[in-house]
Amino acid sequence: MIAHVRVRRAAAVVATVLTSASLTAQRGPRLATAQLETIVAQLRDAPLPALRVEAAGRLGQTHDRRAVGALTSALRDPDTGVERAAALALGEVRDAAAVPALIDLLKTGRDPGARNAAAFALGVIHDRRAVDPLIAALKDPDLEVRMGSALALGSLGDPRAVEPLLALPHDEEHRACMSIALALGHLKNKKAIQPLLAQLSDDTPDNCQNVAVALVLIGDAEAVPPLIKALNSGKDVVRRGAAYALGFLADRQAVLPLIARLTDPDAVVRQNTVDSLQRLNDARALEPLRAVANTDPDETIRARARRAIAAIEQRRPAARRPRAEAEPAS
């Protein structure tokens, strides 16, 4: 899958996990005690699990710390769906009093979905007591729990997570790699840069282009020269990641090496290159992009090249445009 498509999808994850942890919960109008007690009673006593799930969700939406005790108790509900709903609701309430119970669920919960919900809640609550349990959960047998734990560690921002995240093996479909990349990117720890660059080496047997996402989010110029070198890799996946990342790192020394990749045999490399040249906004790319717009065998890439040309032209100062394109004199 094309790297920039993955990033757009990942943006939703960042919005709900990484970014949300730094925000203060929006607390609505405080419920009257009688109203709150009615919902708590439903969570505790309703015979149908669906009704208890509904009650947990309603308590989470109140963002009311008075609900923490009832929601914590619901983490031991015999129905795993109620466990999940209670954990997510505690994440919405964001009260540190729930952290020990959520850690216990993460460690001992019988349902992977409930353990994943606990990881999410711990990341949102943003309590450093969760760091070591979340690092341990990176070895959970369930992939979704490992992914959720990685994202939560990124949210917590503790440098102790860097080495365990880097040590995680790739899963076959590289699904967990995006979570790892987002977490490392959010941590913005420069110690991760060289190990990440090593994963783009031709000597690495299982390259993952999600590494480029982490490098983009860390945003350090140290990565630029090795990424330029990676544009000449013999592996498509390495060139794809490098072409994608260089556009976001905003270093003009990448312009000419990227232009050279506009004729890459791999369509994804060419598409990422066109997009990166648009982001770099350098007039030196205009003529090469016009050639792509006219001759590339892929219609999608030709269209993106036309879009890139238009964007660069629009941002050029009027004095630098050809006379026919300059703004009329007043």
pLDDT score recorded for residue 29: 65
Do 47 and 141 sit in the same domain of this protein?
A: yes
Structure tokens at 101: 């119970």
Structure tokens at 323: 């006379």
Do 181 and 240 sit in the same domain of this protein?
A: no
pLDDT score recorded for residue 316: 76
Do 47 and 165 sit in the same domain of this protein?
A: yes
Tell me 15's DSSP state: I
pLDDT score recorded for residue 121: 98
Do 182 and 35 sit in the same domain of this protein?
A: yes
Do 41 and 67 sit in the same domain of this protein?
A: yes
* Cα-based angle 266, 270, 276 (whole degrees, multiple of 5): 145
pTM: predicted TM-score of the whole model, two decimal places? 0.79
pLDDT score recorded for residue 168: 86
Residue 312 lies in a domain: yes
Q: Which domain holds residue 231?
A: 202-330
Do 22 and 166 sit in the same domain of this protein?
A: yes
Do 238 and 182 sit in the same domain of this protein?
A: no
Alpha carbons 213 and 206: distance in angstroms, whole number? 16
* Cα-based angle 226, 227, 231 (whole degrees, multiple of 5): 115
Do 20 and 152 sit in the same domain of this protein?
A: yes
Residue 268 lies in a domain: yes
Residue 117 lies in a domain: yes
pLDDT score recorded for residue 14: 45
Distances (CA, A) of 160 to 8, 22, 114, 156, 165: 28, 19, 25, 10, 9
Do 66 and 121 sit in the same domain of this protein?
A: yes
**First-residue to last-residue Cα distance in the chain:** 50
Q: Give counts: helices (H), strands (E), the chain.
A: 19, 0
- Mean pLDDT by runs of 10 across the 330 residues of the chain is 42 45 53 93 97 97 95 97 98 97 97 97 97 97 95 96 89 79 93 89 75 91 94 93 94 97 97 98 97 97 98 76 40
Do 97 and 218 sit in the same domain of this protein?
A: no
Tell me 203's DSSP state: T
Alpha carbons 77 and 112: distance in angstroms, whole number? 15
pLDDT score recorded for residue 8: 42
Q: Which of 187, 211, 241 delimits the end of a domain?
A: 187
Q: How many residues does the chain have?
A: 330
How many domains is the chain built from? Answer: 2
Residue 196 lies in a domain: no
Residue 197 lies in a domain: no
Who's near 43: CB < 8 A, 6+ residues apart? Answer: 52, 55, 56, 59, 70, 71, 74, 82, 86
Residue 192 lies in a domain: no
Tell me 307's DSSP state: H
CATH number at residue 163: 1.25.10.10
Residue 26 lies in a domain: yes
Residue 194 lies in a domain: no
Do 212 and 173 sit in the same domain of this protein?
A: no
pLDDT score recorded for residue 27: 56
Do 42 and 157 sit in the same domain of this protein?
A: yes
